[in-house]
Amino acid sequence: MALLQISEPGESPEPHTRRLAVGIDLGTTNSLVATLRNAVPECLPDDEGRTMLPSAVRYAEDDVEVGYTALVHRGDDALNTITSVKRFMGRSVTDLRDESKARYQFTTASGDGKGQLKITTRRGSVSPIEVSAEILRALKVRAEESLGGELYGAVITVPAYFDDAQRQATKDAAQLAGLNVLRLLNEPTAAAVAYGIDKYVDGLDQDAEGCYLIYDLGGGTFDVSILRLTRGVFEVLATAGDTHLGGDDFDEALAKHALDSWQLTRALSPAGQANLLAASRAAKEALTESEAATIKVNWGCGFDSSVDVSRETFFAITQPLVERTLSAVKKSLRDAKLKVDQIDGVVLVGGATRMPHVRAALEAHFGKPPLATMNPDEVVALGAAIQADQLAGNAKPGEQHLLLDVIPLSLGIETMGNLVEKVIPRNSTIPIAKAQEFTTFKDGQTAMAFHVVQGERELVSDCRSLAKFELRGIPPMVAGAARIRVTFQVDADGLLSVSASEVTSGVRAEVAVKPSYGLADGEIASMLQSAFTNANDDMQARALAEARVDAQSLLESMHKAFEEDRALLNDAEHAMLTSQMGYLKQLAQGNDHRAIVRASEDLNRASTEFAGRRMDKAVQRALAGKTLDQIA
């Protein structure tokens, strides 16, 4: 008797096989790859049992070295050994901070500092995407050797505050490394997945409902997200953070302290800078367990410098960095409309959360110790592995989890008067699609240009430009008659696409938003702060812009009416309306929006009789030569 293989919905076609899927934490300092074995997530080690792969790539004379072998040459071959490349993803040269510019030699294809960033090495210029691809390729090889087969796909984690360009750059790097990206997953959400399943960790009940704050302080980025966990559903309520704040900044603070104490008169070479940062990082890690540590750097030629640093000193010089993270924590609580006592637990993610004063600050703020039952270096990769296993179709019914992430900044479109019309507000759950209708401004308009922007301010000039495209072939109509439907779609990876179509004719245009570089350092956080600080000014600016647009439209309508029906007015009426139009035009060049509105209303009232005469003339023209029977 023949046997039939049966696969349940959501399972792979052959029940006896599992698709090999992994979760990858592409970190600033270290990267990891994890998978599920016997329903338990675990990070995959290298041949020497080390799960972490330093995010370092060295371009040697005849080879590309990745990880520990590259890190060895950080001091003696600094310009060709690239570390912390995650900070450069999706950015231009003009976006970089001064300390980053001093570390490597940067160029761009465009030559103006605004194109795709390139890092100069002995083997030519390489982009951050190419460097990241080398790290991902090494993790892919490790996974396939460990699992004994070809990978079906991977879930790759990104900071929640990565913008569209940075996410796209990460996806491009994965494609270059030969990886099938199942999903880009926000790092705090991945951590919540790992912590939210009780069979993987003691201390949390899978069936418990509550709100958790994920505090993710990695090597180069900081994220804080608030999630509500409800029986397998992970809903992000709010997110905040800084794409240029992490353990590297604590290292640099220690390095600056050491330089100030040594009072060196000569600028450091790239090799000297790399050695100083390495020594500072080692001292920072030592201070996690010890009360004191020494920063010692050998400059060569028998000359070295050293300085002792106490834990108290380290805490003092880096406390402003901790305060920056707490500011983001407070903001996320406001956005989620939650109070401190409504947070059921604080989950620590990222190796930098091992610093005692970071944990002490969180415990003081929330009145309870943070959750640290899992390795903060591994928790993101473990959560990504769980999600990858589900997306590969390996999870059984009842083991699947719904992840509802959010976007960090509002998305909108430019309208007349340099105004921003927000289509998708920040902290909206993704994936999401929203549409809004717009219309033409001039009679006979057959094309429309669209400018997609990102930010919280009211004026386009205060927001970030994402993309521009045009819709052509609009049937000529009077101003305001066309119906242009603009649709914004953000997928589960947080990537945006925008389309526009004219409803009556069906003509359509669309664009996949893929900027050539990302937001400037800390720009998202500063955009939000700027929006809050300038809210009143923005309202005034928007009101002024709207008043000017309405006045311009009214004036153009009046000029057209004069051209067509001047004969319907006597000289006195024409002079009166012309005077009011001149007054309105003069006011529209000023900054008093209330005066502009009043003048527009006065002109509308004064021209009501003229409008009525024009209407009568149009009706008479339409009825001319027709009998009553024809009209009926």
Q: Catalytic residues, which ones?
A: 25, 86, 187, 216
Give every CB contact of residue 236 below 8 A, 6+ residues apart in sequence: 160, 186, 188, 189, 225, 226, 227, 404, 405, 406, 427, 429
Report the alpha-carbon distance of residue 44 to residue 36 in Å, rounded: 10
Report the alpha-carbon distance of residue 251 to residue 249 in Å, rounded: 5
Strand (E) or helix (H) holding 223: strand 222-230
How many Cβ atoms are within 10 Å of 352's Cβ, its own excluded? 28
Report the alpha-carbon distance of residue 216 to residue 621 in Å, rounded: 72
User: Which of 544, 524, 520 has the alpha carbon at shortest distance from 596?
Assistant: 544
Q: Which residue has the tokens 């430019």?
A: 414
Structure tokens at 430: 């993704």
> In this structure, are strands 429-430 and 402-406 parallel, antiparallel, or unpaired?
antiparallel
Report the alpha-carbon distance of residue 354 to residue 333 in Å, rounded: 23
Q: Which residues pair with 371 in a beta bridge?
A: 347
Spatial contact of 223 and 216, defined as CB atoms under 8 Å apart: yes
How many Cβ atoms are within 10 Å of 532's Cβ, its own excluded? 11
Report the alpha-carbon distance of residue 632 to residue 627 in Å, rounded: 9
Q: Return the SS3 of 511.
A: strand
> In this structure, are strands 222-230 and 210-217 parallel, antiparallel, or unpaired?
antiparallel
Strand (E) or helix (H) holding 439: none
Strand (E) or helix (H) holding 530: helix 523-533
Q: How many alpha carbons fall within 13 Å on the CB side of residue 385?
A: 25
Q: Which residue has the tokens 């702060």?
A: 529
Alpha-carbon separation of residue 381 from 25, 27, 251 (angstroms): 5, 10, 24
User: What length is written for the chain?
Assistant: 632
Question: What is the CA 351 to chain-centroid distance, rounded?
Answer: 22
Task: Using the Cα atoms of residue 192, residue 198, residue 203 and residue 204 in order, give the sign of their dihedral.
Answer: positive
Buried b (16+ CB within 10 A) or exposed e, 156-171: bbbbbbbbbbbbbbbb
